[in-house]
Amino acid sequence: MEKAILGKKIGMTQVFDQNGIVTPVTVILAGPCTVVQKKTVDKDGYDALVVAFEEAKEKNKSKPELGLFKKTNVSPKKYLREYKLDNFAELEVGSEIKCSVFKEGDVVDVTGTSKGHGFSGNIKRWNGRRLKMTHGTGPVHRQAGPSGANSTPSRVFKNHKMPGQFGVDKTTNLNLKVVKVDEDKNVLLIQGSIPGNKNGLVSIRSAVKTQK
């Protein structure tokens, strides 16, 4: 059964099982999300649900978005996302998706925006190796190596690993386990770390490449 929800990363902590084994987990405020639009093959060319998450001020939303919220009698929301899930066809506009759609032991994929590190060199950005710190190799211990041949082809090939912007990329962590579901607080505890800063938006959905 395919499931999905939007959430916000709160931070990390740890939990203990009955045998006293500690498990690092990420705390996610998951939902509630409201279905604001239902796309169909006849009208839009494909089936999908548009869900909204987190309250927002009306002045901060565009006119098309406000029109969508007023049409469905939903208060303005900060985030809108689209999900193509077969089994969500029974959900109607205005219905809510809560964290209770997930159960303990479910395997999920979590998508978020990775932390930004600004302009970074080869070693930090691509996990490169520096030269030995003995005499005769300076002062280029952390500089990039040759970027291509001199006369032929007389250019740098595309996608060559060089210094540049590091981070702020859409990143997905696969096959993470749901350790606990707290319906009263709308909180999910997911094993391990997930991309992004605290309070960053994340998307949680059923794992696509579930490992046995």
**Domains assigned to the chain:** 1-31+101-125+162-212 (2.40.30.10), 33-97 (3.30.160.810)
pLDDT at 212 over 80: no
Q: With H, G, I as helix, E, B as strand and everything else as coil, classify residue 201.
A: strand
Q: d(Cα 97, Cα 109) in Å, to the nearest integer?
A: 17
DSSP secondary structure, 35-54, as one string: EEEEE-HHHHSS-EEEEEEE
User: In the chain, what percentage of residues exceed pLDDT 90?
Assistant: 20
Enter the tokens of residue 170.
């859409």
Write down the pLDDT at residue 137.
Answer: 81
- Paired with 118 in beta bridges are 166
Q: What is the pLDDT of residue 136?
A: 82
122-150: average pLDDT: 85
The whole-model pTM stands at 0.78
Q: Are 8 and 203 in contact (CB under 8 A)?
A: no
Q: Per-residue confidence at 211, pLDDT binned at 50, 70, 90?
A: low
| CA–CA separation, 57 and 78 (whole Å) | 8
For 38-60, the pLDDT digits (tens) are: 888 888 788 888 888 888 787 88
Asked if 36 and 52 touch (Cβ cutoff 8 Å), the reply is yes
Residues 6+ apart with CB under 8 A from 63: none
pLDDT of residue 89: 60
Contact call for residues 48 and 39 (beta carbons, < 8 A): yes
What are the residue ranges of helices labelled H in 40-180?
A: 41-44, 63-71, 122-126
Q: What span, in angstroms and rounded, lies between the C-alpha atoms of 33 and 94?
A: 10
Chain segment 57-112, per-residue pLDDT in tens: 878 888 888 888 888 888 888 888 888 876 666 777 777 888 888 888 889 999 99
More confident residue, 212 or 47: 47
Average pLDDT, the chain: 85
Rg (CA), the chain: 23
Confidence of residue 166 (pLDDT cuts 50, 70, 90): very high
Mean pLDDT of the 105-134 span = 90
Q: How far apart are CA 189 and CA 105, in angstroms?
A: 11
Give the model's pLDDT for residue 116.
92
